[in-house]
Amino acid sequence: MSPTPASASSLSPAALHRLVREGRAPRLLDVRTPGEFRAAHIPGSYNVPLETLREHRAELLAHLDEDVVLVCRSGARAAQAEKALAEAGLPNLRVLEGGIVAWETAEAPVNRGPERWDMERQVRLVAGSVVLATGLAGVFVPGAHLIGTAIGAGLTYAAVSNSCAMGVLLSRLPYNRGPRPGIRTVIAELRSTS
């Protein structure tokens, strides 16, 4: 869940901020969970959670004929969204380098809502708690430490594959879901600002 490196299909926060100030902002799709989006998002962006985008990318194509910049926390989920939309045939896709974290670091404008823990912090809490609990339980229950070993293996795989099964599972909790924007709502919002 670390930032993705800059590529030809990325856009720096400074470049995006300049486009926004000049009134030439591309379509901004924020692929984080609704809870993350409500906590902080770039003004004018649309929340299309990665899961929704993957499921309905064909429907979205008709409403994304201009430049599109994909946003997430650090760039990893946005890169996955870029791949999904590119496979569906959408050109002119870019990923915000460093995601919302880099955007905020650049002191660019952010709409704020209720404070929430971001997904990476939630993953660290759950993984760390399981490893700690099973390590302590291993003193009394032989083999309990192996659960912590499995979590470590999962985190290693997550880093190598740039995916996170625990993050996917946590994103489905009510804390992170909130009112998920339905595809019809997303498309109506995209149409209203075309």
Question: So which residues are the catalytic ones?
Answer: 72
- Return d(Cα 74, Cα 95) in angstroms, integer: 10
- Return d(Cα 190, Cα 193) in angstroms, integer: 6
- Return d(Cα 123, Cα 166) in angstroms, integer: 7
- Return d(Cα 194, Cα 90) in angstroms, integer: 17
- Return d(Cα 88, Cα 79) in angstroms, integer: 14
| Structural Rg of the chain based on CA atoms | 18
Query: Minimal CA–CA distance to 101: which of 88, 122, 119, 126?
Result: 119
Q: Which two tokens stand for residue 176?
A: 């992170």
Query: Minimal CA–CA distance to 173: which of 137, 125, 113, 105?
Result: 125
The alpha carbon of residue 76 and the mean position of all alpha carbons in its chain are separated, in whole angstroms, by 7
Query: Minimal CA–CA distance to 33: which of 117, 102, 126, 127?
Result: 117
